[in-house]
Amino acid sequence: MSKYIFITGGVVSSVGKGISVASIGKILKSRGISVSAQKLDPYLNVDPGTMSPYQHGEVFVTQDGAETDLDLGHYERFIGIELTQASNVTSGQVYSSVIAHERQGDFLGGTIQVVPHVTNEIKRRIREVAEISGADLMIVEVGGTVGDIEGQPFLEAIRQMKKDEGRDNVLYIHVTFLPHIAATNELKTKPTQHSVNELRRIGIQPDVILCRSDKEISEGIKDKISLFCDVDKEAVISLVTSETIYEVPLLLEDAGLGELIVNRLGLRAERSNLEEWRDIVARLKAPKELVTIGLVGKYVELQDAYYSVREALCHAALAHNREVKIEWLDSEQLDGLADEKLGQVQGIIVPGGFGYRGIEGMIKAAKFAREREIPYLGLCLGMQTMVIEFGRHVFHTDRVNSTEFDASSTYPVIDLLPEQHGIEQKGGTMRLGTYPCHLMAGTIAARAYGREVVYERHRHRYEFNNKFRQPLKEAGLIPSGLSPDGKLVEVVELQGHSWMLACQFHPEFKSRPDSPHPLFVGFIGAAKETLIEGAQTSLPLN
């Protein structure tokens, strides 16, 4: 039987609840406890797949093809597990299934209510992950902040879980924020007191309070929170903003949280072993030479949109004992400045995206990389823009395009698959999740992976158009990765270029700090050799 930790947030959003869940998972797994994690998102969308990155940041894709919250990316990267669709529950999913049951007559005669019908469905979905994973411990994060209207049924459901599962099998952790008042140089606890009061009003008494703040928390502050919120002082834990997110598990472990959870829940645990992780964090924090990568996309002012790409670059750089410096280049602003801006980077990465806006700038970036021999890594849309650019070069016309951007293109080098034609519904209708890919021996791709068959996660609707495979190949665009039946081009690379490769899948979702992704490692390896005149590539040692 699984035990449960429920994590709620108070005061403000974006205080690092997702990182806290991931870190708690990491410290408990390091004690030999099997852990699974789940995110409950109170919004009404069925999944974030149709949401703009401006609203939601990155959409993280699980191996079974679910479009999920980016917090699942933190859970996978920190805990080292692979999650499934069931690990991201939204109000949209819960209400859809309750209403579908009602229409089928499953509750015949009953009035359908938030309590118990909606809360039962939420609890069923929480237990489902516990059962499928067989984990000793389930860590469940409730999205949003206590007090949000949509969050109420979720809080009610997790409140009931304590009674259902046994009082010793459930632990509530509340993550709050302590604002710092500069004028008096003090941290304030009042918002935390209010949010704990709000939790209590619902019937949840937190067992642990994680206090996020930008300044060190004094003993006096801890005493105050302990007194007003009725939480043992040892369970008031400070979460001071750290230099790298990967340090958070170490901060929490060193503050005694691992021990406290194990004792409170009566978990059978080994001694904590975070040595490898400590080494990674020490290496991350040590001053290193820089490698400068230009990331060309249209959401660059909102870096959360490329969360996994940013992390994968950081992991790969560390494998080369470098620190990655990302130049966030807005693809809509590259006009006329492409040479100047791209001339300052050692490698160019074009990540995924949808829609025409910003595409021409991405195509310029691919052209720059091809002509100047700059290492290039294209991810999904970044492969499509590389193919379009090469097509324009080979066929000498700008009429080369993807039908996503120009439906009447004369050279539709990227197009819908026949089975995708006629799909009208937007949500969940893409090619999603893990597919195998066979690599051609002797290519950059095969060398980077050191394997013949790889499994990678997809999220796209358009594909390389096979009508153009032969002419483009003859001109030097090598289809170095194919689907097992040979019908889908999954990886392309440019013959004669030192490192210009793009893939139809999203390798960034599988990179971890302790196992960087081979394509990113290959890319950074090539980029670090690129010399930029006059550029500062080393960090001042202080």
Give the separation between CA 228 and CA 479, rounded to whole angstroms. Answer: 64
Contact 412, 401 (CB under 8 A): yes
277 or 462: whose CB is closer to ligand GLN?
462
Contacts of 184 (CB under 8 A, 6+ apart): none
Bridge partners (DSSP) of residue 482 are 438, 489
Q: Which residue among 58, 141, 156, 508 is the active-site one? A: 508
Bridge partners (DSSP) of residue 171 are 5
355 or 486: whose CB is closer to ligand GLN?
355
The distance of closest approach from Cβ of residue 429 to ligand GLN in the complex, given in angstroms and rounded to an integer, is: 10
Reading phi first (left if > 0) and then psi (alpha if -120 to 50, else beta), residue 355 is in left
The distance of closest approach from Cβ of residue 302 to ligand GLN in the complex, given in angstroms and rounded to an integer, is: 16
Query: Please, what sign has the CA dihedral across residues 446, 449, 454, 459?
Result: negative
Look up residue 170 and give its amino acid: V
How would DSSP label each residue in 479-526?
EEEE-TTS-SEEEEEETTSSSEEEESS-GGGG-BTTB--HHHHHHHHH
The distance of closest approach from Cβ of residue 354 to ligand GLN in the complex, given in angstroms and rounded to an integer, is: 4
The distance of closest approach from Cβ of residue 460 to ligand GLN in the complex, given in angstroms and rounded to an integer, is: 3
138 or 500: whose CB is closer to ligand GLN?
500
Contacts of 309 (CB under 8 A, 6+ apart): 295, 349, 351, 379, 508
The distance of closest approach from Cβ of residue 461 to ligand GLN in the complex, given in angstroms and rounded to an integer, is: 4
186 or 332: whose CB is closer to ligand GLN?
332
Q: Which residue among 438, 458, 497, 506 is the active-site one? A: 506
The distance of closest approach from Cβ of residue 240 to ligand GLN in the complex, given in angstroms and rounded to an integer, is: 36
37 or 519: whose CB is closer to ligand GLN?
519
**Active site annotation includes 380:** yes
Residue 331: Cβ-neighbour burial (10 angstroms; 0-12, 13-18, 19+): buried
The distance of closest approach from Cβ of residue 380 to ligand GLN in the complex, given in angstroms and rounded to an integer, is: 3
Which residues form the interface with ligand GLN (CB under 6 A)? Answer: 352-354, 380-381, 384, 404, 459-462
The distance of closest approach from Cβ of residue 465 to ligand GLN in the complex, given in angstroms and rounded to an integer, is: 12
The distance of closest approach from Cβ of residue 488 to ligand GLN in the complex, given in angstroms and rounded to an integer, is: 12
88 or 384: whose CB is closer to ligand GLN?
384
Here the tokens at position 183 are 């004028």
Residue 91: Cβ-neighbour burial (10 angstroms; 0-12, 13-18, 19+): buried
Q: Where are the alpha helices (DSSP H) in 203-291?
A: 219-229, 248-254, 257-265, 275-285
370 or 460: whose CB is closer to ligand GLN?
460
Q: Which residue among 211, 380, 437, 503 is the active-site one? A: 380
Look up residue 329 and give its amino acid: L
Contacts of 284 (CB under 8 A, 6+ apart): 244, 246, 247, 314, 318, 513
Give the separation between CA 344 and CA 494, rounded to whole angstroms. Answer: 22
Residue nearest to ligand GLN (CB): 352
190 or 487: whose CB is closer to ligand GLN?
487
Q: How do the residues of the chain divide into helix, strand and coil, expressed in percent and rounded to 5?
A: 40, 25, 35
Which residue reads 């937190």 in tokens?
Answer: 206
Query: Which among 84, 30, 8 has a CA at the least distance from the CA of 267?
Result: 30
460 or 517: whose CB is closer to ligand GLN?
460
Question: What distances in angstroms separate CA 216 from CA 19, 182, 213, 241, one per listed residue?
Answer: 19, 14, 7, 9
**Active site annotation includes 506:** yes
Catalytic residues, by residue number, are 380, 506, 508
